């Protein structure tokens, strides 16, 4: 009896360690799918090793495996602790751990459904995955596994039909089908069908982008720097033909912005603090629009938007221009309201918290292509240090500044 118990314990430990290994592999694959590595197709298989492991793992392992996967991804994105002088910066791993706990809930659902139930498992895991994302957003922890697809432009068109959660549903479907085939050691019918569908959806995306005529164009620049360089960079943007320039969140005061717009004779969108976190459009004559107020505060930030406040879009000769500020892009509502206002372009003044390797800058910037494709509207994101970009309505990145000190225009 004792020998049998020892054998069972050994097998259990081995299964646990194999599961940990698979969780580590999933963490690495997930990180490589995200910026700055940007291998988007890995997003469709990143969770497959983790799901394959959880199908055969002990019941208690779901949350630990999820946290291991998320923290490994965090370390790959931010670097190991000994590479950073200020170890306090690794408090930035806390959100990864929280994401891992949510991921554990999805894994527990996958474990309960089992590997052998075909479409029931695939649709069930995908539904749980999206439901957990939706619930997380309700408690102000808005994450989405769709971030892994931010550079996979041919598939982003689906967001205009099903939103970012539709993309997340697709990510979970493909990952679960791969894990199911892996676990059952055969190419299952759902795996074959979904693989073919994924290829067809990519082809349809390329076809739509190729055949859809381009809209009337306007030259837009986003500035990535601190305020000491703004006058020079605005003049550079003007020299390159920019008609509209976007500056970061809480970046300048209205007087300086008005003076710069008059001097360069262009339209300027900038973030500033005037009782609340605001953004306005400055005309070439120096006149300032009524402000847009930030709808979603971040962390301990004071609320800016209040129920009943207008969600303003700005009138211009190029049509209406909308603005959302920083953390607003983590939610669909601000961009949706600006599109309903008639905005043909949405400016995104931003200020991200600094983390090792600017990991949060890059992860937050990845939402830009998702929101552009979701609302079929170009976005122009301006940040101080990294991730400033301009996208078209398909989510294609037209201009991108990865590091501080660059201006980008298209």
Same domain? For 398 and 285 the reply is yes
Domain boundary among 211, 246, 261: 211
Same domain? For 240 and 199 the reply is no
Same domain? For 148 and 288 the reply is no
CA distance 370 to 206: 16
pLDDT digits (tens, 9 = 90+) for 45-70: 999 999 999 998 888 899 999 999 99
In this predicted structure, the answer to whether residue 31 has a pLDDT above a threshold of 90 is: yes
Same domain? For 242 and 337 the reply is yes
- Mean pLDDT computed over 336-352: 97
pLDDT at position 7 is 45
- At 198, is the pLDDT very low, low, confident or very high (cuts 50, 70, 90)? very high
CA distance 231 to 353: 25
pLDDT at position 406 is 46
Could you count the other beta carbons within 10 Å of the beta carbon of residue 221? 28
pLDDT at position 407 is 46
In this predicted structure, the answer to whether residue 261 has a pLDDT above a threshold of 70 is: yes
Please check whether residue 220 is in contact with residue 380, taking contact to mean a CB–CB distance below 8 angstroms.
yes
- Mean pLDDT computed over 152-175: 97
Same domain? For 286 and 159 the reply is no
In this predicted structure, the answer to whether residue 168 has a pLDDT above a threshold of 70 is: yes
pLDDT at position 83 is 64
pLDDT at position 265 is 96
**Mean pLDDT in the chain?**
92
Same domain? For 207 and 225 the reply is no
CA distance 384 to 365: 12
Q: pTM of the entire structure?
A: 0.92
Domain boundary among 211, 232, 262: 211
Q: Give the count of domains, the chain.
A: 2
Q: Higher model confidence: residue 12 or residue 229?
A: 229
DSSP state of 352: P
Same domain? For 199 and 265 the reply is no
- At 405, is the pLDDT very low, low, confident or very high (cuts 50, 70, 90)? very low
Burial (0-12, 13-18, 19+ Cβ within 10 Å), 204: middle
Same domain? For 77 and 119 the reply is yes
In this predicted structure, the answer to whether residue 11 has a pLDDT above a threshold of 60 is: no
pLDDT at position 367 is 98
| CATH assignment of the domain containing 270 | 3.60.110.10
Same domain? For 326 and 187 the reply is no
Domain limits at 61? 2-211
Lowest model confidence (mean pLDDT) among 5-9, 67-71, 76-80: 5-9
Q: If we measure between CA atoms, which residue out of 357, 402, 362 comes closest to residue 81?
A: 357
Could you count the other beta carbons within 10 Å of the beta carbon of residue 229? 14
Domain boundary among 160, 194, 211: 211
CA distance 184 to 115: 7
Same domain? For 176 and 224 the reply is no
- At 79, is the pLDDT very low, low, confident or very high (cuts 50, 70, 90)? confident
Helix (H), strand (E), coil (C) string for 233-269: HHHHHHHCCCCEEECCCCCCCHHHHHHHHHHHCCEEE
Please check whether residue 29 is in contact with residue 70, taking contact to mean a CB–CB distance below 8 angstroms.
no
- At 207, is the pLDDT very low, low, confident or very high (cuts 50, 70, 90)? very high
pLDDT at position 6 is 45
- Mean pLDDT computed over 159-170: 96
Same domain? For 175 and 54 the reply is yes
Same domain? For 181 and 271 the reply is no
Q: Higher model confidence: residue 185 or residue 16?
A: 185
């Amino acid at each position: 009896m004792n020998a049998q118990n020892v054998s069972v314990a050994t097998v259990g430990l081995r299964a646990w360690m194999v599961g940990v290994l698979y969780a580590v592999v999933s963490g690495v694959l997930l990180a490589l799918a995200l910026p700055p590595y940007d291998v988007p197709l890995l997003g469709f298989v990143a969770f497959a090793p983790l799901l394959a492991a959880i199908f055969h793992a002990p019941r208690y392992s779901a949350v630990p495996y999820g946290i291991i996967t998320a923290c490994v991804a965090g370390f790959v994105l931010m670097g190991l602790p000994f590479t950073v002088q200020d170890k306090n910066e690794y408090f930035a791993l806390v959100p990864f751990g929280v994401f891992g706990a949510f991921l554990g809930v999805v894994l527990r659902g996958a474990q309960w459904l089992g590997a052998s139930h075909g479409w029931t498992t695939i649709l069930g895991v995908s539904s749980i995955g999206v439901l957990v994302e939706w619930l997380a957003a309700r408690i102000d922890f808005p994450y989405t596994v769709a971030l892994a697809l931010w550079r996979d432009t041919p598939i982003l068109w689906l967001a205009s039909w099903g939103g970012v959660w539709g993309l997340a549903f697709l990510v979970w479907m493909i990952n679960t089908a791969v894990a199911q085939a892996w676990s059952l050691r055969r190419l299952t019918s759902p795996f074959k069908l979904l693989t073919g569908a994924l290829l067809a959806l990519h082809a349809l995306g390329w076809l739509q982008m190729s055949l859809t005529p381009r809209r009337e164009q306007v030259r837009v620049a986003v500035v990535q720097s601190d305020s000491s360089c703004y006058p020079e960079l605005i003049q550079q943007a003007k020299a390159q033909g920019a008609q509209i320039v976007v500056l970061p969140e809480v970046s300048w005061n209205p007087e300086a912005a008005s003076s710069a717009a008059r001097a360069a004779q262009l339209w300027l969108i900038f973030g500033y603090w005037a009782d609340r976190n605001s953004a306005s459009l400055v005309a070439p004559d120096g006149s300032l629009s009524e402000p847009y107020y930030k709808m979603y505060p971040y962390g301990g930030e004071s609320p800016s938007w209040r129920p009943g406040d207008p969600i303003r879009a700005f009138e211009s000769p190029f049509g209406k221009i909308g603005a959302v500020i920083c953390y607003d892009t983590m939610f669909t509502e601000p961009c949706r309201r600006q599109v309903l206002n008639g905005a043909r372009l949405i400016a995104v003044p931003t200020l991200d918290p600094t983390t090792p390797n600017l990991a949060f800058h890059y992860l937050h910037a990845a939402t830009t292509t998702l929101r552009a494709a979701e609302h079929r509207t170009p976005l122009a994101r301006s940040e101080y240090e990294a991730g400033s970009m301009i996208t078209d309505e398909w989510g294609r990145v037209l201009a991108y500044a990865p590091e501080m000190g660059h201006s980008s225009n298209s």
